[in-house]
Chains A and B, each alone.
Chain A
Amino acid sequence: EDQVTQSPEALRLQEGESSSLNCSYTVSGLRGLFWYRQDPGKGPEFLFTLYSAGEEKEKERLKATLTKKESFLHITAPKPEDSATYLCAARRVPGTYKYIFGTGTRLKVLA
Chain B
Amino acid sequence: NAGVTQTPKFRVLKTGQSMTLLCAQDMNHEYMYWYRQDPGMGLRLIHYSVGEGTTAKGEVPDGYNVSRLKKQNFLLGLESAAPSQTSVYFCASSYSDSYNEQFFGPGTRLTVL
Residues of A within 8 A of B (CB): 4, 32, 34, 36, 41-46, 49, 87, 89, 91, 94, 97-104
Residues of B within 8 A of A (CB): 4, 31, 33, 40-45, 48, 50, 56, 58-59, 90, 92, 97, 100-107
CA distance in complex: A102, B37 (Å): 11
Report chain B residues within 8 Å CB of A43. 4, 90, 92, 104-107
The reply to whether B102 and A97 form a contact with Cβ atoms under 8 Å apart is no
CA distance in complex: A36, B100 (Å): 13
The reply to whether A4 and B42 form a contact with Cβ atoms under 8 Å apart is yes
Where chain B touches its partner, the secondary structure class is: loop
Contacts A43-B4, A44-B90, A49-B101: A98 and B106 contacting too (C-beta < 8 A)?
no
Nearest residue, chain A, Cβ from B49: A97
Report chain B residues within 8 Å CB of A91. 100
The reply to whether B59 and A87 form a contact with Cβ atoms under 8 Å apart is no
Report chain B residues within 8 Å CB of A32. 100
CA distance in complex: A36, B35 (Å): 15
Report chain A residues within 8 Å CB of B59. 98
Report chain A residues within 8 Å CB of B102. 34, 44, 46, 99
CA distance in complex: A42, B107 (Å): 7
6 further A-B contacts with Cβ under 8 Å, apart from A89-B42, A91-B100, are A42-B106, A43-B106, A87-B42, A98-B58, A101-B43, A104-B42
Residue of B43, B48, B97 with highest tally of chain A CB at under 10 A: B43
Q: Pick the residue among B48, B104, B106, B107 that contacts A97 (CB under 8 A).
A: B48
- Top 4 closest pairs, chain A to chain B, by CB: A43-B104, A101-B42, A101-B43, A46-B101
Contacts A43-B4, A43-B106, A43-B107: A94 and B43 contacting too (C-beta < 8 A)?
no
CA distance in complex: A46, B40 (Å): 21
Report chain A residues within 8 Å CB of B90. 43-44
The reply to whether B42 and A45 form a contact with Cβ atoms under 8 Å apart is no
Q: Measured between C-beta atoms, what is the minimum distance from A102 to chain B in Å? A: 5
Report chain B residues within 8 Å CB of A49. 100-101
